[in-house]
Amino acid sequence: MLESIDSSLLTTIIMMPFWNRQIKYFYLFALLMLCYNPIAFASLLSDIEGIQIYKKNTSLTPERKQHLADDIDRYHRADNMWDILQENFTLSHEERNPAVREQIRFFMNNPDFLVRATTRAAPYLYYITQQVKKRHLPAELVLLPIMESAYNPFAYSAAGAGGIWQMMPGTASDFGIKQNWWYDGRRDVIASTKAALDYLVYLGGFFDNNWLLAFAAYDTGEGRVLAAIRKNVREGRDTDFWSLSLPQETRDYVPRLLALATIISHPEEYPINFPTVQNAPFLAEVDVGGQIDLNHAAVLAGLSAAFLKQLNPGYTHRATDPTGPYKLILPIEHVEQFTDNFIRSPFYEQIHAKRYVVKSGDTLALIAQRFKTNTPAIRQFNTIKIGRLKPGTNLLIPQSQPELSKAILTAAKKTPIRRSAYPEMRSSYTIKPGDTLYMIRHGDSVAKIAAHFRIPVQALLAANPLRSTQSIAMGDKLIIPTHLNKTA
């Protein structure tokens, strides 16, 4: 594989200047790892980026599956992120400042707000922390979305800002965020985090790494902060954040961030029951190569539709954007189930849906006839209640899949789970909506797994080719018939 590496890349790394020596050595090490152990390189990359990446049509080899199992085991054994985060804080939190003390009192009087916000943050926290670290930014920035949106990716402000970072449409576009009818990248936690942090890199440089001024500018704009600085210069006054004449919202914003960092830094003094978050990759990005129905994807991944939507909030409708991105964010524990089932799914090919704007005089029957489908399909695809259509309403018209929801469920029932770990498998049991594919980890037993998923041991044995409750091994896969929980 060494011969296939672009020589210009090697030359660029080798010719890096002296002051970049550590970075140069790191990249040379990573490049050698890519050459001789690409799977280990992928793991290193996921640690740097904070997310595992699976490219289009990636087939999970047995070696890659074992590595995935190791990553899952490492995730469950990892330290608590909150402990790591407080060790990485670098700014002075000015705990004695009256404005900071006031914000501390606010948070301590409203602990439920912090618990809700940090619970929402849990799936994304490791990813965002790694992206902050990658850019050599202050670790305190991980807390900024708590103030902006309470870590709610679906949040919109009255002014039109959106996503966990509350980016305005213009700023988001300037930093490469795609926004259209199908997809709002400001709500996409992966894309918006990169854009927001790149913006903060710019603001940090603009204010010579005075991060209190940069935080203020993120809230109110660098132009307003710069104007306040110039005013103080003219009047012979100090130009630090605390001396500037800024809107009250901004004067509260900066001490609120410092108050959050203070609370997390001193858990004995400020006891709040934050949810445990593992300091290891939790998320994976899977490129499915084309448009896909999100409910169908949830079935294949063994996730609830609501949780899949929570991890993929950038998609504003039931299907992904037909022009891309084609990426799904999944928990690493569900990657193997999704990729195995997706390849075997009758809906492996793209889902085709057209956008149609209702015109005056339109009825569902006329629209269905025009697009060679039927009214139940359109009603089902758009969750339309009985009643007249309003002109100007946007509809998605499913193409070549007239009974999409029923077809997806039927397809899922007919999609066999791959059982490579059990070549002697004779059972005809196939995946059902709501089932889970589980990879056995160190210390597992049939009884423990059944208790964890709240299903009878006999049901677990019946769904898998197990001769007894003892015949499981680490790295093997089991079908967990969790659909039984919904029908019990």
Q: Which residues are catalytic?
A: 148
Alpha helices in 37-110 (DSSP H): 38-49, 62-77, 81-88, 98-109
Q: Write the CA distances from 133 to 1, 19, 90, 111, 335, integer angstroms.
A: 30, 19, 12, 28, 26
Q: Distance between CA atoms of 368 and 378, rounded to whole angstroms?
A: 7
- Burial profile 4-32: b = 16 or more Cβ within 10 angstroms, e = fewer: eeeeeeeeebeeeeeeeeeebeebeeebe
Residues 6+ apart with CB under 8 A from 238: 232
In contact, 145 and 165? CB cutoff 8 Å: yes
Instruction: State the amino acid at position 461 in one-letter form.
Output: L
Q: What are the strands of the beta sheet with 52-54, ordered from one edge? A: 52-54, 283-287, 327-331
Q: What are phi and psi of 293, to 5 degrees?
A: -75, 130
CA 300 remoteness from chain centre: 18
Residues 6+ apart with CB under 8 A from 467: none
Q: 3-class SS at 479?
A: strand
| The pair of three-digit structure tokens given for residue 145, joined into one six-digit string | 């979305």
Q: Write the CA distances from 2 to 36, 61, 104, integer angstroms.
A: 8, 21, 55
Instruction: Tell me the β-bridge partners of 363.
Output: none
Alpha helices in 345-403 (DSSP H): 364-370, 375-382
Q: Distance between CA atoms of 62 and 161, rounded to whole angstroms?
A: 45
Q: 3-class SS at 52?
A: strand
Alpha helices in 15-61 (DSSP H): 21-36, 38-49
Q: First and final CA of the chain: distance in angstroms?
A: 53
